[in-house]
Amino acid sequence: MSYLILVRHGQSVWNLENRFTGWVDVDLNDNGRAQAKKSGELIKDKQINIDVYYSSFQLRAINTLKIIQEQLNDYKNIKSVWQLNERHYGSLTGLNKDEMKKELGEEKVHQFRRSWDLRPDPLDKNSAYHPINISTYKDIPADKIPDTESLKDTYERVIKYYIKYVENNFKNKNILISAHGNSLRSLCKYLFKLDNNKIAKLEIPTGNPLFIEFSEDNKILNCEYLDTERAKDLLVY
């Protein structure tokens, strides 16, 4: 028996401002840090040992994981990988979601956020928000850095990494992944075999650990959000 714990980072500065964040490397706000602390407390209550910690390259995911580790009193090295980054929102990056609904229409914005294979227009490479201009990503090969992404694009990079480096290498280990709404939606699509309609409806709450129990032959036995007051419908259980 083993466990996989998925945690969407705590609320960030741009989450609060309702902006498309994507690859912009913003940090947690005070509420996000409190959510991360509670996440750590809830995971600690499970009384299991975490063998491997993963996060994206992004500060809000890394700092969420560090706060969780403080609660667990466990400071193993964090494997930070860019493949777990949030979806790149292209030209929408930095824009306010409500303002975009007024400008483009609510249905169009919903399509950009939830459709499977629709990409926003590419982000101008001269933009300060483009990953090539953000020091966090200076060591990522330039041909791997996107200008925009659909959920399908995000899924392909997340799951390719997960299968090769996580699923195949750490069977019967307990793993904690701190990442983002769309990278975790991608993982849930893969793990729970969600179709494209169901994945469009799946919402991952910030700072609420999703606790997944696996059998010895790597089949899902059970899953639950640990903060039951803020749980979302998983669409599968």
Q: How far apart are CA 51 and CA 12, in angstroms?
A: 27
Residue reference for tokens 């930095």: 94
Task: Return the bridge partners of 96, or none.
Answer: 19
Task: Return the bridge partners of 176, or none.
Answer: 5, 53
Per-position DSSP letters for 143-187, written without gaps between them? GG--S---HHHHHHHHHHHIIIIIITT-TTS-EEEEE-HHHHHHH
Q: How far apart are CA 38 and CA 131, in angstroms?
A: 31
The amino acid at 16: L
Q: How far apart are CA 31 and CA 206, in angstroms?
A: 10
- Quick one: which of 15, 3, 4 has its CA closest to 180? 15
Q: How far apart are CA 174 and CA 1, in angstroms?
A: 9
Active site residues: 9, 86
Element containing residue 2 per DSSP (H, E):
strand 2-8
What is the chain's alpha carbon radius of gyration, rounded to the nearest angstrom? 17
